[in-house]
A = this chain, B = another copy of it.
Amino acid sequence: MPDRIYNFSAGPATLPYSVLQQTAKDVVNFQDSGMGIVEISHRSPWFAAVIAEAESLLRTLLAIPDNYKVLFLQGGASSQFFMVPMNLLSPGKKAAYLNTGVWSKKAIAEARLFGEVVVPYSSEAAGFKRVPTPDEYQVDPEAEYLYFVSNNTIYGTQYQEMPTAPMPLVADMSSDFLSRPVDVARFGLIFAGAQKNLGPAGVTVVIIREDLLDRAPATVPTMLRYKTHAEKGSMFNTPPCFAVYMVREVLKWLKALGGVQAMREINEGKAGLLYQAIDKTPFYRGHAEVGSRSRMNVTFNLPTAELEKKFALEAANAGMAGLKGHSSVGGCRASIYNAMPREGVEQLARFMRDFAARNAAV
C-alpha cells in the first residue's frame, strides 16, 4: 500500500493527515514536557489548556451561546440514547422521536425504558430512504422534547432543513457534526460521537442548554448526570485525554480552513461530484431520495450484488478503501466526512465513470 490511501469508511473515519503527523510527535513528547500526551496528568496545566482550547474552539466554530454547556463524555453516541431520556424525560411524561433509521430506532428503544415515546414520523416502511420536511409530521404538544438524527449514515439521508418544534430539540449529530453551520440556540441538546468529523472513537461531545441540567431524578447515578460533568468542566473523573487532545487538533485544522461555513461549501462540492457520477448513468442508482440526500454518506447501488463487490474490491486496490455499504442495506457507500480531501472524491468519481463504462451491460 502507498503511505496514504483514501479511506471512505463510515467511522472511525479518515482524519486530516497534518493532524496525524502532529499527533505522532505529541504522543511521544508533548510540548517539550518530556512526556507523551497519553501520559500527562489530566490535572496538569498542559491538559487543562488542551481541554479548555477544545471547548473554546467548539464554541467559536458553532457560535454556541453562553447558556449552553459543552461536555466531553465517554460511552459513544449509544450511551446518549439512554442518557437523554434518563436526564430529560420526567417520570410520567412523554418524548417525541422522528424515526429515520437504525440509530433513531435504538434511541427510541432506550427511551421507552424511561417513559412514553411518541413517533410522529417514520420512514421505516419506505426503507428509510428519506427524512421528513417539517410539514410531514405533527408533534404532540405534551412531548418534553423532539429527538431526531440529523444524518443517517447507513441510508445516506440528511435533513437539509432542520425540524422545528415548540419543545426543545434533541439531535444526534454524530455523523454530520461540524459539517455545516447549525443554529445551536434552536436546540436543547446536541450530541456527537467523535469518530466521523471530530477525532478518534472514544469521546462524545454534548452541547446542552443549562436549564435542562436540573431535570434528572435523584436516582440517577452520579456519572450519568449531565450536571455532574457540566459542573466539573468534564473533569469529574479522568476524561479520555488523548481523544480530547485529537479533537482539539481537528478543531484547529477546521478553524484554519475557514470553519463550518467554508466546510459546508467544500462538502456540498464533494457530494455533488459523486451524485453527478450517480445520476449521469443508469448504471448507478442512488439509495436515498434526492431531496434527502446526505453530504456525508453517499449510498448507491450497481446493477448486481456481484458488480457491487467487484466495485469495492477494485476501488480498494486503487487506493480507495471502505466503499462497501452497510450490511443492513447492501450496495456501496462513500463516506466523505470533513477530512476527506476533494482529491479523493475526484478520484472516486473518475473511478465510478470508468467502472461504469467498463461494466455496463456488454
Tell whether A242 is near chain B: CB-to-CB under 8 Å.
yes
Tell whether A11 is near chain B: CB-to-CB under 8 Å.
yes
Tell whether A42 is near chain B: CB-to-CB under 8 Å.
yes
Tell whether A81 is near chain B: CB-to-CB under 8 Å.
yes
Instruction: Known contacts A86-B221, A240-B240; decide if A27 and B29 are in contact (CB<8 Å).
Output: no
Could you tell me the distance between the alpha carbons of A219 and B34 in the complex, rounded to whole angstroms? 48
- B38 near A240 with CB under 8 A, answer no
User: Which of the candidate stretches A13-21, A50-58, A118-126, A208-216 sits at the interface with the other chain?
Assistant: A13-21
Instruction: Known contacts A38-B246, A40-B12, A221-B113; decide if A78 and B202 are in contact (CB<8 Å).
Output: no
Q: Which 9 A-B pairs have the closest CB atoms?
A: A5-B34, A202-B240, A82-B221, A38-B200, A74-B74, A78-B237, A24-B24, A1-B34, A9-B41
A32 to chain B: closest residue by CB: B1
Instruction: Known contacts A33-B5, A110-B221, A223-B81; decide if A202 and B12 are in contact (CB<8 Å).
Output: no
Within A221-252, the residues touching B (CB, 8 Å) are 221-224, 236-243, 246
Tell whether A92 is near chain B: CB-to-CB under 8 Å.
no
Our pick among B28, B195, B241 for the contact of A24 (Cβ within 8 Å) is B28
23 example contacts (A-B, Cβ-Cβ < 8 A) are as follows A1-B33, A1-B34, A3-B34, A4-B34, A7-B40, A9-B40, A12-B41, A12-B238, A20-B38, A23-B27, A23-B28, A38-B200, A74-B75, A78-B223, A78-B236, A81-B223, A82-B223, A109-B222, A110-B222, A110-B223, A201-B239, A202-B203, A202-B243
- B29 near A4 with CB under 8 A, answer yes
Interface string of A154-186 (1 = CB under 8 A from B): 000000000000000000000000000000000
Tell whether A25 is near chain B: CB-to-CB under 8 Å.
yes
Which positions in A face B, CB cutoff 8 Å? 1-5, 7, 9-15, 17, 20-21, 23-25, 27-29, 32-36, 38-42, 44, 74-79, 81-82, 86, 106, 109-110, 113, 193, 195, 199-203, 219, 221-224, 236-243, 246, 319, 321-322
For A200, what are the chain B residues with a Cβ–Cβ distance below 8 Å?
38-39, 240-242
Could you tell me the distance between the alpha carbons of A78 and B321 in the complex, rounded to whole angstroms? 38
A199 to chain B: closest residue by CB: B38
For A32, what are the chain B residues with a Cβ–Cβ distance below 8 Å?
1
A322 to chain B: closest residue by CB: B41
A197 to chain B, nearest CB (A): 13
A181 to chain B, nearest CB (A): 26
For A24, what are the chain B residues with a Cβ–Cβ distance below 8 Å?
24-25, 27-28
Could you tell me the distance between the alpha carbons of A9 and B221 in the complex, rounded to whole angstroms? 28
Pick the most buried of A7, A24, A36: most chain B CB atoms within 10 A of its CB.
A36
Our pick among B2, B10, B237 for the contact of A76 (Cβ within 8 Å) is B237
- A241 near B202 with CB under 8 A, answer yes
Could you tell me the distance between the alpha carbons of A41 and B23 in the complex, rounded to whole angstroms? 19
A49 to chain B, nearest CB (A): 15
For A40, what are the chain B residues with a Cβ–Cβ distance below 8 Å?
7, 9, 12
A134 to chain B, nearest CB (A): 30
Could you tell me the distance between the alpha carbons of A82 and B72 in the complex, rounded to whole angstroms? 20
Could you tell me the distance between the alpha carbons of A149 and B35 in the complex, rounded to whole angstroms? 28
Could you tell me the distance between the alpha carbons of A203 and B233 in the complex, rounded to whole angstroms? 20
Could you tell me the distance between the alpha carbons of A4 and B29 in the complex, rounded to whole angstroms? 7
